Structure 1
Amino acid sequence: MLANADRVMPDELKFEGDKRFFTAALDRADLIVHGRHSYEDQPNSPRRKRIVLTRTIGSIAPDPSNPMATLWNPAGASFEAACDQAGVHSGTVAIIGGPDVFEIFMDRYDTFWLSQAPRVGLPEGEPCFPGVPGHSPQEILAAHGLSAGESQMLDIADGVSVTAWRRMSWRKV
């Protein structure tokens, strides 16, 4: 789960090590993509170029409340068109969710960083992906062609870790 039943990330799911990892990754990204309920709320947030998924518009539009943001309805335009509108033509894209956003990109990820806090339970919470809890996040990532790679411990005291799930690229020799 990535949020409680109210779609809010509770304090018990916030860990300093995870926050540092997340912040560093966003600082390296050329573009942030998220749903209208997600926002990283960090000091560098206003400087980050972003695409915000929404159903309130037909296709693509500038965000009137944020000059660094482009609003995008995937039903009305391609991701490439949204990137073009945002002025981003190459680089690293960070997809920060939520579950509907993650699902859109599931077959496009090069790497998905799955953080886990095994000592926190949110039984009625918002799942990280559609299909959870019927399937584990790991099963869903594997079903989309991603394989678990290296893991890093982010918070030893609370057992919080992050694992890189990477797309296998096959080359003929």
Structure 2
Amino acid sequence: MSVHRIEGYVIVSADGMLADANREMPKELKFAGDQQFFNAALDSADLIVHGRHSYEGQPNSPKRKRIILTSATAALSPDPSNPNATLWNPAGASFEQACERAGVRSGTVAIIGGPAVFGMFLDRYDTFWLSQAPHVRLPGGHPCFPGVGERSPQEILAAHGLRAGEPRILDAPHDVSVTPWRRQTSV
């Protein structure tokens, strides 16, 4: 049986968006402090999970083991363009089967998006690292979770049993911070 610590990572605009109307992360959401935090977290993760529109594009990215969610495969298959990647269709295989196929039976799994992927793990996160850029708005953008718009990202995380920890400033001039949202366990 696999044992994983599941952590999510996203930076959002004031209106809860992670991408613009073209499904791209605009330069307005890119801050050096957040990028450093994100890169360090992914360097320490054992496995990265994302959808076909998400990719971190960092120097170490090609070296990282990853699972890419897609409907282009029936269940699980190797990614022909990346020997470190496994293609996964959740309709045909479980997350645990995908991890096994990727060769990662334990350790930290970093979920990096997009919205549907983040949504799939809402009840499984041990910690969700929510970075916020409070002076950026992306009207018509893509939300970080399904349901953002009716509710804030914070309300959605709380509704799934996560509680906010102490925020940390990542970029003081732009008021960008990251807040760890941790799963509450019964004592």
Asked if these proteins are the same fold (TM beyond 0.5), I'd say yes
The residue aligned with 1:42 is: 58
The question of 1:118 aligning with 2:134 is answered yes
**1:123, CA displacement in angstroms?**
1.4
**1:34, CA displacement in angstroms?**
0.3
Structure 2: 5+ residue runs without aligned partners? 1-16
SS at match of 2:80: coil
SS at match of 1:157: helix
Residues in 1 aligned to 2:138 and 2:166: alpha-carbon distance in whole angstroms: 26
Q: CA RMSD for the aligned pairs?
A: 0.5
> Alpha-carbon deviations, 1:72-119, whole Å to 9, x = none?
001110000000000000000000001000011110000000010000
Residues in 1 aligned to 2:120 and 2:40: alpha-carbon distance in whole angstroms: 24
* Matching residue's letter, 1:70: T
Residues in 1 aligned to 2:184 and 2:175: alpha-carbon distance in whole angstroms: 28
Residues in 1 aligned to 2:46 and 2:152: alpha-carbon distance in whole angstroms: 30
* Matching residue's letter, 2:140: E
Which of 155, 161, 174 is the equivalent residue of 1:139? Answer: 155
* Matching residue's letter, 1:152: R
The question of 1:55 aligning with 2:55 is answered no
**1:124, CA displacement in angstroms?**
0.7
* Matching residue's letter, 2:89: N
> Alpha-carbon deviations, 1:42-65, whole Å to 9, x = none?
000010000000011110000011
Moved >3 Å (runs of 4+):
none
Structure 1: 5+ residue runs without aligned partners? none
Which of 83, 86, 89 is the equivalent residue of 1:67? Answer: 83
Residues in 1 aligned to 2:68 and 2:55: alpha-carbon distance in whole angstroms: 9
* Matching residue's letter, 1:167: R
The alignment's TM-score, normalised by the length of structure 2, stands at 0.91
**How many residue pairs were aligned?**
171
**1:170, CA displacement in angstroms?**
1.0
The residue aligned with 1:106 is: 122
Residues in 2 aligned to 1:54 and 1:73: alpha-carbon distance in whole angstroms: 5
The question of 1:163 aligning with 2:179 is answered yes
The alignment's TM-score, normalised by the length of structure 1, stands at 0.98
The residue aligned with 1:17 is: 33
Residues in 2 aligned to 1:96 and 1:26: alpha-carbon distance in whole angstroms: 9
The residue aligned with 2:103 is: 87
SS at match of 2:174: coil
